[in-house]
Chain A
Amino acid sequence: MILEMNNIRKSFDSLEVLKDISLSVDSGEVVSIIGPSGSGKSTLLRCATLLEQVDGGEIRYLGRAACTEENGAPRYASPSELKELRRAFGLVFQSFNLFPHYSVLKNVMEAPMLVQKRNKEEVRATAMGLLEKMGLESKCDAYPCQLSGGQQQRVAIARALCLKPEILFFDEPTSALDPELTGEVLKVIKQLAEENMTMVIVTHEMPFARAVSDRVIFMDGGVIVEQGEPEEVFGNPRQERTKQFLRNYEP
C-alpha cells in the first residue's frame, strides 16, 4: 500500500467534516473522489497531504506512520520523519499556487535542488522532460502570469512530478478552468494514468472520473457512501444518495 488512512476524523469547531473515514491506495491505482460541495473530499486530501491535522486516526505512507492514534488523540511523527514522508506524495492545487516570481523552469527545478539536494544538471534534464511531456517546453522561460490557467496547471503538475512522488493528489485540478482549458489538463492526467502513476483525484468532471479511474469513491456528509469500479458506481449505483447526486450530471 502506498497510502493507508484509517478511521480519520476531523472537525472544524463543532462541524464534523470527516466521520471515521478509511482509504487505502495501492501502487498504480487511480482513485477518483466525487461528491457534493462540503462533503469533505478536499479536507480528506488536505489531511492526507498533512496540510490539516486530523483529530483522530492513522495515516501511513509506504507502511511508515505519519500519524498514529494513542488514547483517542492523534500523534504525528517527528518533524524530520514527516519531512522524509512528504517526499512520498505531491499535491496539485485547484488554484495552481505557482510561485509568480519564478520562471516556469525555476518553479519546477527549485524544490528538487533545494529540498532533495539533487544535481542541477539531472534536475534540469528531468524538468525539461516533464515540461515537454506537458507540451510546455517553449514556455520554460516564461513567468506564470504570462500563461493561461491550463498552462499554469500543467506547470504545477510538472513541478509536483519533478520531485518523483510515489503518489500524486489532485484537489479539483480543473475547477478554476473553463471547459476548453479543462480538456488539456485532463488529457495530461489521463496520460499519467496510462503510465501507472498512483493518483487520487478529487473532481467534479464525471465523464473524466469514469474514464480514468480504477476506483471511484462517492463521499457525502463526511462519510464514504459508496465506492467501487467506475462502471458500478456510475452505471449502477446502489445507494439512493449516489443516484440522486449523479442525476445532477446527466445530460
Chain B
Amino acid sequence: MSFSTMLSTMAVGMLRTCAIFFLTLLGSLPLGLGIMLLRRSGNRFVSRLTQVFIAIIRGTPLMLQLLVWYFGPYYLFGVNIKGWRFPAILVAFIVNYAAYFAEIYRGGVESISIGQYEAAQVLGYSRSQTFMKIILPQVVKRILPSITNEFITLVKDTSMAFTLAYQEIFSLAKQISASQTSFMPFVIAGVFYFIANYAVAYAMEGCEKALSYYN
C-alpha cells in the first residue's frame, strides 16, 4: 500500500474523529449547563441526585461507559440496538463531557462576586436576565482555560470509540498497521491528533484574546 493510498484511506477516519469531536461539543456544552443548574438547585434532593450522577460519570472509565451505552440496552432490557453504534458513542461522550463541563461551569459561576447579583437585583433584572446577561458572559471568560483543557482531552479521547469498533482514525491506523505490517499509520494518526490539538489551542487562544478587553 502506497503512502498516498494509506493517507486517503485514513482521511475517512479523520472525518469520523472530527464528527465525534464536534457533535460531542454540540451536545455536551449545553447539557453541562443544564446539569450545573440542577446541581445548584435549591431543591436538596435534585442537587444531591445530580451530585451522585456526576460522581458516577467521573468515577468510572469512559471506555466502560461506552460499552454500557452500547451493550447495556441489550443486556438490561433485551433491546436490539444493532446499527446504533454511532449514536451510542455520541451519547457516551456527550454525557461524560457534560458532567465535567457542569463542574467547570459551577466553579465559574461560584467565582462571580455576590455584588454582581445584588447590583442586578436592585436594578430590576429578572433572575434569568441576571444569569444570561451579567453572570454567564463573565463565567465564560473565567473558565476558558479549563474548557480548552477539556477540548484537547476530547480530541484524544475520541480514540476510545475504538472500543466499539467504530472506524475512526485510531481504529483505522491499528487495522492498516496490522494488515500492511507498517508503522506509518501510527505516525499519520499521531501527526493528525497533534495538528488537531494545535488548531484547537490556537482557536481557543483567539477566544481568550477576544475576551481580554476587560478584567
Residues of A within 8 A of B (CB): 49-51, 83, 86-87, 89-91, 93, 95, 97-101, 110-111, 114-116, 143-145, 159-160, 163
Contacts and interface: CB of A to CB of B under 8 A. Distances in A.
B138 A111 contact: no
A95 B115 contact: yes
A118 B214 CA distance: 27
Interface stretch (B28-36, B101-109, B122-130, B200-208): B122-130
17 contacts: A51-B118, A51-B122, A86-B124, A93-B115, A93-B119, A95-B113, A97-B113, A99-B119, A100-B138, A101-B214, A110-B133, A111-B123, A115-B123, A115-B124, A115-B125, A144-B214, A145-B215
Interface in B119-154: 119-125, 129, 133-134, 137-138, 141
B116 interface: yes
Contacts of B213: 143
Interface in B85-117: 113, 115-116
Contact of B122 (A91, A98, A110, A116): A91
Contacts, number: 56
B112 to A, nearest CB: 10
B117 to A, nearest CB: 9
Interface residues of B, number: 20
A90 B214 contact: no
A86 B125 CA distance: 10
Given A51-B122, A159-B123, 16 more contacts: A49-B122, A51-B118, A93-B115, A97-B115, A97-B118, A97-B119, A99-B134, A100-B215, A101-B141, A101-B214, A111-B123, A115-B123, A115-B125, A145-B214, A145-B215, A163-B124
A240 to B, nearest CB: 36
Contacts of B137: 101
Contacts of A145: 214-215
Contacts of B123: 111, 115, 159-160, 163
Given A111-B124, A114-B129, A163-B124, A100 B214 contact: yes
Nearest to B121: A51
B125 A111 contact: yes
Contacts of A144: 214
Contacts of B124: 83, 86-87, 111, 115-116, 163
Contacts of A95: 113, 115
Interface of B: 113, 115-116, 118-125, 129, 133-134, 137-138, 141, 213-215
Contacts of A83: 124
B56 to A, nearest CB: 35
A219 B116 CA distance: 28
A238 B104 CA distance: 57
A112 B155 CA distance: 45
A173 B121 CA distance: 18
A240 B120 CA distance: 41
A95 B115 CA distance: 8
A98 B138 CA distance: 12
A46 to B, nearest CB: 9
B138 A86 contact: no
A100 B115 CA distance: 12
Contacts of B113: 95, 97
A147 to B, nearest CB: 11
Interface centre among A83, A111, A143 (most CB of B within 10 A): A111
A204 to B, nearest CB: 20
Nearest to A145: B215
B133 A97 contact: no
Contacts of B215: 100, 143, 145
Contacts of B138: 100-101
Contacts of A115: 123-125, 129
A49 B89 CA distance: 52
A101 B132 CA distance: 13
Contacts of A87: 124
A116 B123 CA distance: 10
Contacts of A143: 213-215
Interface centre among B122, B129, B137, B213 (most CB of A within 10 A): B122
A75 B149 CA distance: 49
